Amino acid sequence: MTGASRTAVVTGASSGIGAATARRLAAAGYHVVLTARRKDRIEALAAELTSAGHRATAYALDVTDRPAVDTFAASLDRCDVLVNNAGGALGADPVATADPDDWRRMYEVNVVGALHITQALLPALTAGGDGTVVVLSSTAGHGTYEGGGGYVAAKHGAHVLAETLRLEICGTPVRVIEIAPGMVKTEEFATTRFRGDTEKAAKVYAGVAEPLTADDVADTITWAVTRPSHVNVDLLVVRPRAQASNTKVHREL
Ligand code: 8X3
């Protein structure tokens, strides 16, 4: 499946895995529609991709704002691929002391946000005759770890969204692909989780020879999306070689 006149919507495209995925899908020939709250960032990336000869459009969007998501969906001529990437972690506190507002916010962005945009774009994905929904969950969606708390709960929710949707739309021309990355070193994930504490954020990756990069995950997503239409990569777990499980990481310290 190549992307000559096909459109791919990427949420959370302002940085990290989202931005890298937009780059890769644009290079694969898709018209990429970059969405994120930070308009300046997605506009800069769209301009960069356009000047490199690709088709890219920026649309400022908060996936937790349902009316805005519906307006966005109505503005599209078509949608062939939706990459649900917007999300992230807030805090690494134990269940005993975590802030319930962090849990709510993580559920809102990682699960309800993905639900909003998936619901809004499903008619277009189906009407195009060959649609793909990608859900970026996480290895946190498949196993827990101490301090994972609200993020683990939210990513389990994202996994359930993907798995349930796949069952429910079986028989329609839409695939549902779940990509579950483990340790990925991006400029923002850990810093956001630790609310700007760069020292704590750095400890996440301390001594790990080669955590995955955003581009490693974007490459994986693009590979899955560009398989022939009848091939559905249901679930793909991708970790760095130095990470054998959520709690087993080799560190050279
Ligand atoms: C990120 C993986 O291990 O930080 O989705 O939960 S982890």
Q: What is the pLDDT of residues 134-181, one digit of tens each?
A: 999 999 999 999 999 899 999 999 999 999 999 999 999 999 999 999
Q: Give residue 2's pLDDT band: very low, low, confident or very high (50, 70, 90).
A: very low
User: Which residue's alpha carbon is nearest to atom 2 within ligand 1?
Assistant: 182
> Which residue among 90, 136, 145, 151 has the greatest number of ligand 1 atoms within 8 angstroms of its CB, and so is best to mutate?
151
* Binding site membership of 85 for ligand 1 (Cβ less than 6 Å): no
What Å distances lie between residue 135 and 29, 107, 210, 236, 253, CA to CA? 21, 14, 24, 11, 34
For residue 73, what are its two tokens? Answer: 């969906």
Ligand 1 within 6 A of 246 CB?
yes
Looking from the CA of residue 183, the nearest atom of ligand 1 is 2
Give the tens place of pLDDT for each residue, 219-229.
999 999 999 99
Average pLDDT value for residue range 107-113: 98
Query: Residue 27: phi, psi to the nearest 5?
Result: -65, -25
Distance 52 CA to ligand 1 centre (A): 33
Per-residue model confidence (pLDDT) at position 149: 86
Set out the domains of the chain in order of their start, with CATH numbers.
7-249 (3.40.50.720)
Distance CA 18, CA 72 (A): 18
